[in-house]
Amino acid sequence: LSCDTDEFDYQGGKTDFEDVYRPQIHFSPQKNWINDPNGMVYLDGEYHLFYQYNPLGTVWGNMSWGHAISKDLLKWEQQAVKLYPDELGAIFSGSAVIDKNNTAGFGENAMVAIYTSSGQKQTQSIAYSTDKGRTFTKYSENPVIENPGMADFRDPKVFWHEATNKWVMSLSTHHTITFYGSANLIDWEYLSEFRYYDGGPYGIWECPDLFPLEFNGEKKWVLLVSTTNAPNGGTATQYFVGSFDGLSFKADPAPYPLWLDYGRDNYAGVTWSNIPDTDGRAIFIGWMSNWNYANQTPTSGFRGAMTLPRSLSLVQHSDNYLLLGSEVVSEIESIASDWNSVFTGTIVNESKTVEMGITAPPAYELEIEFSDVQDTNPVLELSNVHGDIVKIELDLLNGQLYFDRRNSGHVSFNFAHFPGRFSSPVHSGLDKIKLNVFVDQSSVEVFINEGLSCQTNLVFPKEIYDQMNIVSDNGSLDVNIGVRVFNSIW
């Protein structure tokens, strides 16, 4: 495939922002298809988000890198497409770094994109920008890593490893992750391989990300791996926590698989590189879909969106291993109204309608605290006048949360895979539960107990859910509910 760059660059033009499913606080492309977030890097006050993009249509194909820039991780400005397919193949997923010390010779502070060229075989290539990501030049000697004979050999994620003074790449190589090292981003040598067999069927491993996180003053390493073996079907992202010595990654003992998100729609996510040191956050964004039905979701003109950006942190589980928690980044405050307390009281053996006090908001967040929980199965229902409903059900005896989207709205575009009831661990005791629920036009993101566990799910209701019921039919609950609405980011 050859693409004339000018022809397909986004020029403004007609876009469908009126689509009832257009996310109002999540990044989505003005038109056409997106999947994985790629090349996320911060430079001089700007967060760059590249992504798998089809410049020519609303289903997967012609993979290129689209581009958007934000100052606050929320309001995005879509840019011209940055990398188009070439003689080495389509431009598959990858990462970007800032080459502060000019190790590659492209210039001080060059932005270097490392991606998979997917042609007859998958190889790794690089491209660089010396104008803060506005234009890229592909390196003339691509590929920089040849394929050793593997069908799945892709999704390079690169970071600078201070202790051993070199770049380290994580690469997915079927159901293993292979690490490579380089002094200059051009010449790469094999370091090691990580594999983990948890007894289930082998899934394909994609989009790895190895990054450090502090826990109690100790530096731990987290390895994200996206896989086709998701806990609730289709594709999802798992993680390992362990150590990395510049050569190999070793996972600490834990009851793997552990999932970054137990919902159906958070895939191929990785973290931003070059976040300012003073900040110390690991900021994550994922593709809000699932390969089971990604090509069929019922939007018009565009297809695909990203999750809300999240800050990742390590939390000790009572059984003495580390969990990866996620919370929406604090920048969300900048588009949020004040909290409005809409209910405080005890609910006993009833289905209580709680007025949210909102009319068709662009998007909103609920904060629900259950305390003195006698009912072990409380349910939160969100619905609209059309009868579309999602149920968020707690099973506190078994420590599970269920997200039921069987009657959430339009589900028949893929009846085999889309409707369903999905489970996730609550990861904490019985008596106190806090839910933070972010509702947009076509998604619901549920965070349990400050992000100890979460579920992200797409939904396609005829209108955003604006009615709430709390059901306690098995005893009593003390409940405290706050609501706040968000301004649209567009």
Interaction site with ligand FRU (CB under 6 A): 35-36, 52, 63, 92-93, 116, 154-155, 206-207, 267-268
By CB neighbour count within 10 A (0-12 exposed, 13-18 middle, 19+ buried), where does 216 fall? exposed
**Smallest distance, Å, CB 234 to ligand FRU?**
11
Q: Which of 52, 38, 27, 40 is nearest to 275 (CA)?
A: 40
Structure tokens belonging to residue 129:
């920008």
Nearer to ligand FRU, 66 or 425 (CB): 66
Looking only at the bridges linking them, the beta strands covering 218-227 and 236-244 are antiparallel
Q: Do 53 and 33 touch, CB atoms closer than 8 A?
A: yes
Nearer to ligand FRU, 103 or 125 (CB): 125
End-to-end CA distance of the chain: 33
328 vs 323: CA distance, rounded Å: 17
By CB neighbour count within 10 A (0-12 exposed, 13-18 middle, 19+ buried), where does 398 fall? exposed
By CB neighbour count within 10 A (0-12 exposed, 13-18 middle, 19+ buried), where does 267 fall? buried
Residue 335 phi, psi dihedral angles, 5° rounding: -115, 10
**Smallest distance, Å, CB 224 to ligand FRU?**
12
**Smallest distance, Å, CB 447 to ligand FRU?**
23
**Smallest distance, Å, CB 154 to ligand FRU?**
5
Nearer to ligand FRU, 210 or 335 (CB): 210
Looking only at the bridges linking them, the beta strands covering 421-425 and 400-404 are antiparallel
22 vs 300: CA distance, rounded Å: 9
405 vs 177: CA distance, rounded Å: 34
Structure tokens belonging to residue 15:
């876009």
57 vs 246: CA distance, rounded Å: 42
Q: Is 8 helix (H, G, I), strand (E, B) or coil?
A: helix
Nearer to ligand FRU, 154 or 166 (CB): 154
Nearer to ligand FRU, 63 or 230 (CB): 63
Q: Which residues touch 162 (CB under 8 Å, ≥6 apart)?
A: none
**Smallest distance, Å, CB 261 to ligand FRU?**
15
327 vs 416: CA distance, rounded Å: 31
**Smallest distance, Å, CB 36 to ligand FRU?**
5
Q: Which residues touch 472 (CB under 8 Å, ≥6 apart)?
A: 347, 348, 349, 350, 352, 375, 378, 379
Q: Is 87 helix (H, G, I), strand (E, B) or coil?
A: coil
**Smallest distance, Å, CB 287 to ligand FRU?**
7
Of residues 19, 36, 155, 375, which has the active-site annotation? Answer: 36
408 vs 394: CA distance, rounded Å: 18
Instruction: Report the alpha-carbon angle 17-22-23, nearest 5.
Output: 125
Q: Do 40 and 273 touch, CB atoms closer than 8 A?
A: yes
Q: Is 36 a catalytic residue?
A: yes
Nearer to ligand FRU, 76 or 92 (CB): 92
**Smallest distance, Å, CB 374 to ligand FRU?**
44
**Smallest distance, Å, CB 238 to ligand FRU?**
14
Nearer to ligand FRU, 33 or 128 (CB): 33
Nearer to ligand FRU, 295 or 374 (CB): 295
Helices vs. strands in the chain: H and E counts, helices first: 1, 32
Nearer to ligand FRU, 35 or 297 (CB): 35
Q: Which residues are catalytic?
A: 36
